[in-house]
Structure 1
Amino acid sequence: MNEMVNSNGVPLAADPSPYGYGDGGEAAGASGLPALEQIFTAIINHRNWVIGSIAGALLLGLVFTFLATPQYTSTSRIEILPDAPVATSVEGQRDRALINELAFYNTQYSLLRSRSLAERVLRAGNLTADKDFIAAFKLESPDPNMTSADRREQAASVIDLLLDRVSVSPVRTSSLVDISFSTPSPQLSAKLADLWVSQFVDSTIDRRFAATSDAREYLEARLTTLRQNLETSERALISYATDKGIVTLSSETDTEGRTRTQTLVGTNIAAVSDALSKAREARIIAESELANTMTGSAQVNAPTISSLREKRASVEAELAEMRTRFEEDYPAVVALKAQLANLDQSIKTETGRSSQGNREAYNAAVKRERQLQSQLDELTGLYNVQQRESIQMTILQREVDSNRQLYEGLLQRYKEIGVAGVGTNNISIVDRAKAADRPSSPNLILNLAIALILGLALAAGLVFLIEKLDSSVRNPQDVTSQFGLPLLGAIPEIHDQAVADAVIDKKSAIYEAYFSLMTNLSFLTAHGAPRSIMVTSSRPQEGKSNSSLCLATVLAGNGKSVVLVDADVRNPSINRYLDIPNKRGLSHYLAGDDALADMIAPLPKFGFDVVTAGATPPNAAELLGSDRFALLIETLMTRYDHIIVDSAPLLGLADAPLIARRVEGVLFTIEANSTKSRVISTALNRLRMSGAKLFGAIVTKVGAKNQVYGYGYGYGYGYSYGGEQNKD
């Protein structure tokens, strides 16, 4: 910690507490205080304002509660479901669904408080002509002679009244919403709540139908246009096909919406190709059979010839057997020979006939194949021509497909909108409002709680304002930072006895405080405490005379010879504090009376001598500024160790600056919690301009308001502690 020094470089005591240590010294040396402690101290210091503000607010709350008109609240409950609930497990999709749902519900809450809904309720309930409504809110009855402007103005005021009275309260974590009305009539509150929810449901349905109606009108116009476009494109397609001779037998649409057609030429080509394949197969078979006939294998394999050959073999075998037993001319042998010759002729005949048939079949197959091939070539040529011409037809077909897709899609949307327009409403009424059997307001407990909060706020504002406007010295250590003066002593406030009597008791708080001051004075100069000291203040009643008296008493109690000079000749006070006469004194000496010994009054009770102020002179400043005052100081210094001069206050008077030049230094007295900083600064500037040496400051009347800075606690604890020990 930085050590304080006076103008001569001599170190000063940094701790103004009675013993130089302890709670008071540590708190005083602190650079700042916790915010909570500052707030608590401010409340304690201004407790009267705090108590008054809170009491006033509570009183106003009571008055408001008893004078307020009772209000009855009725509530209707509705359920609002989203139009299209989304169920998905994808995180991003679920987040977007929640955001959309939140926006949906916020929109519904805003619609419930909308002015348009209030207008519907006004019209549905005919509230401007409702006697109960007019009586409840003390409105003017409708006048048949009112102009339309007056009626609109009246309706607007009723709408504002409804919006002020309605309350929309969503039920947490649900799709339910409570709509409440508070009026002076329980039946009217229930009626308005039911009207509000009913009109909200109706308005939602109306908006749905209005939206679908607009959409249907738009879609109908678009469908008409698209239908015309589709018909035009189909007509162009058919005309082109007719002009080019393209005959379409069938068409089909794939999954992508493209139409695939089958023309007559294509079908014929497919049929001819199939017939040609079969004809070619038949020609190959006929050619194979003809080749077999040429090689003889066909005759062997023919069924008729094979049968004849088997029969011939049988006859030949029988003939051979007969020859073994009979001669050639035997009738049976001759018969068998004839039969065998017949069979040979039959086989020959049958073989020739089979070969001729195969050749004819082969020729027919070849002819059929050639005819079909020629027909296929002709159709293929025609198909190729149509394929080249079908490029434009494909373009026209694509346009037809596009127009048809647009038309069918829009037609489907038109049907969906028609179904949605007559769908169920997503808003339903859960509970109807009932007339309340007891008023909902005024609520005494709630009003008192609000009044208490307002009172606390008002008290906080007043305390804050007072604290900001208070520029007095509350922390004695501030004299160093604000005014550049060392703090030499902090003097506690005494209420129960006179300072002159309290300072005699060496166990008292006053004595200990001034003893600490005397200790700090001993460090000011090389020879100890200054021998001549002037005590002054910025204004009267700051404790300078008490400080002069007590400092003289403490110095005398430590074996020093001390004289106290009352230099406040305009308003002397030392004689009143000491209860001594003020016949001859300083003013007489300064006026030329040299009988100084007769002016010095000994005070055995206090241990020092005193020179009273004497009679009040007409020219106090001239007397104090004369050389006689300097001569007085020199004379007294030859007789006493210390001279204490109690001067007049600084502001408005020239006495203190004149005296300050005649003494060794000045002690400046500041009253805590009273004197403004601006006043103190002005007074100090006057002293400094006079060339006076300022030893430091004494802060007097340190009381309960200064406890937070350690001084009140230090004195209250330190001085009472010794007294309690003695009592024990």
Structure 2
Amino acid sequence: MLGDNHFADERNPRPGRAPGGFGEAAFDNVHPETGAWSDEVEDAPAFDLASYWRLALKHRVLILGCFLAALAIGAALTLLMTPIYTAQATLQIDREASRVFDAEDVTPRESMSQGEEFFQTQYGLLRSRSLAERVVESLGLASSDQALANLGVEPPARVGSAAAQAERRRNAALAAVQANLSVTPVRGSRLVAVGYDNPDPVVAARVANGFAENFIQANLDRKFQSSAYAREFLEERIAQTKGRLEEAERQLVAYAANQQIINVGEPSEGGADSSGSSQSLASNNLVALNASLAEARAARVAAEERWRSARSSQIMTLPEVLQNPSIQRLGEQRAQLEAEYQQKSSVYQADYPEMVRLRGQITEIDGQIQALASNIRASIQSQYVVAANQERSLLGQVNALKGDVLDLRDRSIQYNILQRELDTTRTLYEALLQRYKEVGVTGNVTANNISIVDTARPPESPSKPNMLINLALAAIFGLGLGIVAALVLEALDETIATPDDVEKKLGVPVLGVVPLLDKGQTTAAALADIRSGFSEAYYSLRTALQFSTPDGAPASMLVSSARPAEGKSTTAYAVALNLARVGKRVLLIDGDLRNPSMHRVVGVDNERGMSNLLSGSSDLATVVQRTRQDNLFFIPCGPLPPNPAELWGSDRLRHFLAEARKDFDHVIVDGPPVLGFADSPLLAATVGGVLFVLEARGTRRGQARGALRRLKVGRARLLGAVLTKFNAKTTSYGGYDYAYDYNYGAEGGEKKGVKKGKKA
């Protein structure tokens, strides 16, 4: 029955196999921690837009439902909302008001660096509770329940006293006014828009104007209060300073009277002499006597000089004598008499009576001149004596006054202290009086730096609700909610649905994707129809197996899955069938010694099989059966043994595989599920490769990872995964369509369809 085709291990070598063996492959391409395929998985990009698009398409119903539901809810809520009208008044806020007087104001000035703080302060004042209270009070917004109803506020219950009810109405109105107020600065200007929202446009305009007017009045009131406070402060300080001034004057006068300090007139500039004392009477006398002494000393020096000159010079050469009018007149008379005498001397003799008379007159005049000169010299002497006496007298008086002035200075120290305190107090008093007058004048001038540019008018159309904005927000919210829900569902989804899930969640390469059969279609019929997508999927799987190792498809292969009913038996049969169709001698083994089913698929009896072979009661030739397909041979399970794991762990399996290698190109084992049994790990450690079958949307990630870990323990070589029962109609995966469908025309077998599954 068996042919003569034999091949050695060297025809299909692979890493991890012991020479001369048929398996013992290592699970070296699986992550040591997670059991996931790791050596061929490339790093995914940080942001894969295509994967998010596939996620959106996968959950498109959920996202669209959230989107439409949000739009509907947003439209319904918008239609149910009460229309709100917004009225705005525009104010201009300047840093400083117009200057009417040049006097400084009592309020602080803002510098350019403090401008932003100034405007933020003004905006805060516009939003303040105190301004809202002024508006409520001035407009009577809390005067009645009807006034509250106009604000859109439900009147409070009528309980308690009238004062308590009024307080509750006031608090309700205040809360409504502050909640609906808006302060919007106009960027790059000193303008600010004060808006108010209300269902009634007239009320909205009235309240907005009330805020503008009361803000201006509050600003003026603050300025007036600042001036009033300054006046009160100055009045108090003036009264205190006046009292101190009067007390200082009394102390100064009392001390001056006690110390006999008499000042004549107001002090000169500086108020004191060089020693700091005031201009007292003794000081004035000393100054006057000292001036007289200086004049007397000068007169004495001049008189002394004249007397010294008169005493040492000829009397007739003295300037005083020569300049005396009497002497000059007598000199003229003598000169006339001398001339007459000389004239007559030529006629008369010296003893002539006329000549004697003339000589006598000349002699008499000479005596008079001599007497006058002597008197002048005596006068110069007398002037010198008088000047010296006067100097000595004045010097004595000055020396006497010096002692009095020095004593006065000692007694004037405290007097000067009191005088300076009096002067300081008087200066402060006068400054306070001047400032008080300035504040009194500027306080009566209304200097305002806030003005109304535009008053609020009742708006014609409501500002809220805005249907377009609300629908846009609802659409954004619904879209975001749908995306979040899709991401949450995707994060919680543990199923393996697409080949992408296999590679990302398990890290295992996908060798084939088998589509889900239509209702009423059987596996045998689909495999028999070579044009069906089902057959084409397994053709692709066979091709992938040819490239799974450097030497083609493994000589021995285990087909297993994590749990039952995932399509592993169908996959094992289809792979064996396709390998046989290309001329390979294939031995298919039903390795599920617990729940065999392959004999029903192949259509043979199950009287003897692997259980007999492994137990030693039969040999290979007696258990191998031919199938309807050429080159395809089958070994059924045989009688169910009580201990399948012990049979698979015996050395007979290795001997059997070595013997089968001589006659068959490929040995394919349909193994039991991995989870819950030790059979598959034992088989995986012996065969040359493991093909892992996963059911789309049937196998969970935890189950698959657990199965991969168990295969790793058995040192299996994982070839890849096969995703079965994949519904290409409901799953869009990366632009691929796994509906393998070939349509052949009636004429000449021309192929009209194309194979889907190529990259879009």
TM-score, normalized by the shorter chain, greater than 0.5: yes
Residue 265 of structure 1, CA deviation? 2.3
- What does residue 284 of structure 2 align with? 267
Q: Which moved more, 1:396-405 or 1:433-442?
A: 396-405
Q: Does 2:470 correspond to 1:455?
A: no
Q: Does 2:304 correspond to 1:287?
A: yes
Residue 535 of structure 1, CA deviation? 1.8
The 3-state SS of whatever aligns with 1:320 is: helix
Distance, in Å, in 2 between the alignment partners of 1:82 and 1:536 is: 85
Letter in 2 for 1:533: M
Letter in 2 for 1:693: A
CA shift digits 1:609-650 (9 cap, x unpaired)? 567889xx9xx7848558599989768667533232334544
Residue 436 of structure 1, CA deviation? 0.8
Match of 1:102 among 116, 123, 147: 116
Match of 1:81 among 77, 90, 94: 94
| Change over 3 Å in CA distance of 1:697–1:341 after alignment to 2 | same
Distance, in Å, in 2 between the alignment partners of 1:460 and 1:408 is: 80
- What does residue 603 of structure 1 align with? 629
- What does residue 376 of structure 2 align with? 354
Contact 1:647 1:656 in 2 (8 A): yes
CA shift digits 1:225-272 (9 cap, x unpaired)? 3333333333323322222222233236769xx998422222222222
Match of 1:445 among 468, 490, 493: 468
| Change over 3 Å in CA distance of 1:480–1:176 after alignment to 2 | closer
Letter in 1 for 2:283: G
| Change over 3 Å in CA distance of 1:371–1:552 after alignment to 2 | farther
Residue 113 of structure 1, CA deviation? 0.9
- What does residue 515 of structure 1 align with? 543
Distance, in Å, in 2 between the alignment partners of 1:7 and 1:162 is: 86
Letter in 2 for 1:536: S
Distance, in Å, in 2 between the alignment partners of 1:48 and 1:505 is: 28
Contact 2:568 2:670 in 1 (8 A): yes
| Change over 3 Å in CA distance of 1:352–1:410 after alignment to 2 | same
Residue 33 of structure 1, CA deviation? 0.7
The 3-state SS of whatever aligns with 1:668 is: strand
- What does residue 402 of structure 2 align with? 380
CA shift digits 1:198-248 (9 cap, x unpaired)? 122222223333344444444444443333333333332332222222223
Q: Which moved more, 1:275-284 or 1:501-510?
A: 501-510
Distance, in Å, in 1 between the alignment partners of 2:379 and 2:87 is: 112
| Change over 3 Å in CA distance of 1:399–1:331 after alignment to 2 | same
Q: Does 2:252 correspond to 1:224?
A: no
- What does residue 84 of structure 2 align with? 71
- What does residue 233 of structure 1 align with? 248
Residue 430 of structure 1, CA deviation? 2.0
CA shift digits 1:248-306 (9 cap, x unpaired)? 33236769xx9984222222222222222222222223323333443331312334323
Instruction: Extract unaligned runs of 5+ from structure 1.
Output: 16-24, 87-95
Contact 1:591 1:623 in 2 (8 A): no
Letter in 2 for 1:380: K
Letter in 2 for 1:111: L
Distance, in Å, in 1 between the alignment partners of 2:26 and 2:683 is: 26
| Change over 3 Å in CA distance of 1:572–1:337 after alignment to 2 | farther
Letter in 1 for 2:143: A
Contact 1:507 1:723 in 2 (8 A): no
Distance, in Å, in 2 between the alignment partners of 1:85 and 1:612 is: 110
- What does residue 31 of structure 1 align with? 43
Distance, in Å, in 1 between the alignment partners of 2:40 and 2:684 is: 29
The 3-state SS of whatever aligns with 1:76 is: strand
Q: Which moved more, 1:562-571 or 1:371-380?
A: 562-571
Distance, in Å, in 2 between the alignment partners of 1:261 and 1:674 is: 119
| Change over 3 Å in CA distance of 1:355–1:653 after alignment to 2 | same
Distance, in Å, in 1 between the alignment partners of 2:155 and 2:607 is: 85
- What does residue 294 of structure 2 align with? 277
Match of 1:551 among 566, 575, 578: 575
| Change over 3 Å in CA distance of 1:639–1:304 after alignment to 2 | same
- What does residue 3 of structure 2 align with? none
Q: Which residues in structure 2 correspond to 1:113-128 (within 5 Å)?
A: 113-128=127-142
Q: Does 2:457 correspond to 1:434?
A: yes
Q: Give the alignment's TM-score, normalised by structure 2.
A: 0.74
Q: How much identity, in percent, do the aligned residues show?
A: 31
CA shift digits 1:398-457 (9 cap, x unpaired)? 433444455455555555554554441222222211111112222233223323433343
Residue 479 of structure 1, CA deviation? 7.6
Match of 1:370 among 385, 392, 405: 392
Q: Which moved more, 1:51-60 or 1:583-592?
A: 583-592
Letter in 2 for 1:59: A
Distance, in Å, in 2 between the alignment partners of 1:342 and 1:546 is: 191
Letter in 2 for 1:178: A
Distance, in Å, in 2 between the alignment partners of 1:464 and 1:409 is: 79
Residue 143 of structure 1, CA deviation? 4.9
Contact 1:80 1:427 in 2 (8 A): yes
Residue 134 of structure 1, CA deviation? 0.9
Distance, in Å, in 2 between the alignment partners of 1:218 and 1:211 is: 10
Would you say how many aligned residue pairs link Structure 1 and Structure 2?
679
Distance, in Å, in 2 between the alignment partners of 1:306 and 1:472 is: 159
Letter in 2 for 1:317: A
The 3-state SS of whatever aligns with 2:117 is: helix
Q: Which residues in structure 2 correspond to 1:140-539 (within 5 Å)?
A: 140=155, 143=158, 146-249=161-264, 250-251=266-267, 261-294=278-311, 295=313, 296=315, 297=318, 298-328=320-350, 336-404=358-426, 406-408=428-430, 410-411=432-433, 414-415=436-437, 417-419=439-441, 421-423=443-445, 424-470=447-493, 487=508, 489-492=510-513, 494=515, 500=527, 511-521=539-549, 529-539=553-563
Letter in 1 for 2:218: S
Match of 2:691 among 644, 661, 667: 667
- What does residue 55 of structure 1 align with? 68
Q: Which moved more, 1:139-148 or 1:428-437?
A: 139-148
Letter in 1 for 2:478: G
Q: Give the alignment's TM-score, normalised by structure 1.
A: 0.77
Letter in 1 for 2:44: G
CA root-mean-square deviation: 4.9
Residue 541 of structure 1, CA deviation? 6.4
Contact 1:488 1:520 in 2 (8 A): no
Distance, in Å, in 2 between the alignment partners of 1:372 and 1:474 is: 136
Contact 1:179 1:193 in 2 (8 A): yes
Distance, in Å, in 2 between the alignment partners of 1:655 and 1:517 is: 23
Residue 316 of structure 1, CA deviation? 2.2
CA shift digits 1:303-361 (9 cap, x unpaired)? 43234324433442343233235544678756644543443243233223323333333
Contact 1:533 1:644 in 2 (8 A): yes
Contact 1:564 1:645 in 2 (8 A): yes
Distance, in Å, in 1 between the alignment partners of 2:645 and 2:38 is: 43
Distance, in Å, in 2 between the alignment partners of 1:139 and 1:198 is: 27
The 3-state SS of whatever aligns with 1:353 is: helix
CA shift digits 1:37-84 (9 cap, x unpaired)? 365564455444444433333333333332222211111111222248
| Change over 3 Å in CA distance of 1:692–1:216 after alignment to 2 | same
Distance, in Å, in 2 between the alignment partners of 1:403 and 1:43 is: 89
Contact 1:667 1:697 in 2 (8 A): yes
